[in-house]
């Protein structure tokens, strides 16, 4: 059975920068038995990042839509796992107000990651939290989930403007802000195929290029994604190969050789 001390040691071993910014995607069940349950996991993450910033997604895209358009920052539950739902209720945690892709943040710069997100009409705008984590050289911790659950990669696709990823028209959604004010948030949505199901294709190349490492957190296989290196690598790859995530086939070897040649030329 894992303890808070044990989990903190795992964070150290994973090379998490305790004074930086950490965004966590998670599968609680994958961690195994934990003394004290989900709260112990959140205690470990919060204590380790006490001198930095801790962010968890609190998305509501599964049920906030044109037929159910009202998001309430205080009351709308997260649809991405028990840790995220418990985290948003914790003392000192603030939640962003985007109707479908909110996050909750704790730390000395928490407001930096949540303020004004409802002003963006797409899920992962460059000026939203998903771009801010790059500017802040954040790490993304993937506990028991693989890259197919990495919202941040959706952001990179959006910034490169890959075709057919977003609806052309807006849904009329609304956010009830922390002030109690209700604001209209016209929103374009992810559309078409489940493109994120293909994100696994870059697992190996991210490791080979030093943009991602693997380890364990509890019993869970865990990935640590460097947001800056991953943005640079995938921006280059998607610019050269916009259809990268349009199929579920392994990444062609020529793209590995492409980066090897590019490094030798540099």
pLDDT at 4: 96
- Phi and psi dihedrals of 166, rounded to 5? -125, 150
Name the residue among 15, 67, 52 with its Cα closest to residue 225. Answer: 15
Q: Which residues pair with 142 in a beta bridge?
A: 25, 223
Name the residue among 210, 205, 211, 213 with its Cα closest to residue 241. Answer: 205
pLDDT at 263: 66
Q: Is the dihedral of CA 173, 53, 5, 228 positive or negative?
A: positive
Instruction: Record the pTM.
Output: 0.94
For residue 192, is it left (φ>0), alpha (ψ between -120 and 50) or beta?
A: left
Q: Which residues pair with 213 in a beta bridge?
A: 224
Q: Is the dihedral of CA 96, 101, 105, 108 positive or negative?
A: negative
CB atoms within 10 A of CB 62: 10
pLDDT (tens place) for every residue of the chain, 266 residues total: 999 999 999 999 999 999 999 999 999 999 999 999 999 999 999 999 999 999 999 999 999 999 999 999 999 999 999 999 999 999 999 999 999 999 999 999 999 999 999 999 999 999 999 999 999 999 999 999 999 999 999 999 999 999 988 899 999 999 999 999 999 999 999 886 678 999 999 999 999 999 999 999 999 999 999 999 999 999 999 999 999 999 899 988 888 767 766 666 66
Residue 93, SS3 per DSSP: coil
Q: How far, in Å, CA of 71 to CA of 185, rounded? A: 10
């Amino acid at each position: 059975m894992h303890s808070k001390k044990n989990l903190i040691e795992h964070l150290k071993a994973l090379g998490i920068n305790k004074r930086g910014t950490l965004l966590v995607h998670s599968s609680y069940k994958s961690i195994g038995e934990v003394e004290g349950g989900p709260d112990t996991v959140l205690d470990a993450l919060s204590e380790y990042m006490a001198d930095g910033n801790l962010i968890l997604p609190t998305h509501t895209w599964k049920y906030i839509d044109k037929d159910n358009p009202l998001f309430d920052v205080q009351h709308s539950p997260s649809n991405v796992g028990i840790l995220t739902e418990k985290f948003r209720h914790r003392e000192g945690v603030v939640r962003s107000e985007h109707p479908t892709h909110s996050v909750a943040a704790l730390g000395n710069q928490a407001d930096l990651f949540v303020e004004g997100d409802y002003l963006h009409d797409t899920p992962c705008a460059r000026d939203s939290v998903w771009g801010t984590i790059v500017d802040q050289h954040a790490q993304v911790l993937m506990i028991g989930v693989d890259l197919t659950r990495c919202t941040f990669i959706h952001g990179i696709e959006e910034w490169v403007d890959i075709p057919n990823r977003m609806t052309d028209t807006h849904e009329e959604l609304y956010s009830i802000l922390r002030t109690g004010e209700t604001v209209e948030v016209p929103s374009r949505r992810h559309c078409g195929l489940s493109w994120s199901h293909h994100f696994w294709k870059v697992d190996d190349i991210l490791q080979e290029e030093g943009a991602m490492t693997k380890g364990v957190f509890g019993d869970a296989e865990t990935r640590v994604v460097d947001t800056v290196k991953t943005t640079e690598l995938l921006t280059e790859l998607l610019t050269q190969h916009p259809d990268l995530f349009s199929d579920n086939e392994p990444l062609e070897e020529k793209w590995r050789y492409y980066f090897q040649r590019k490094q030798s030329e540099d």
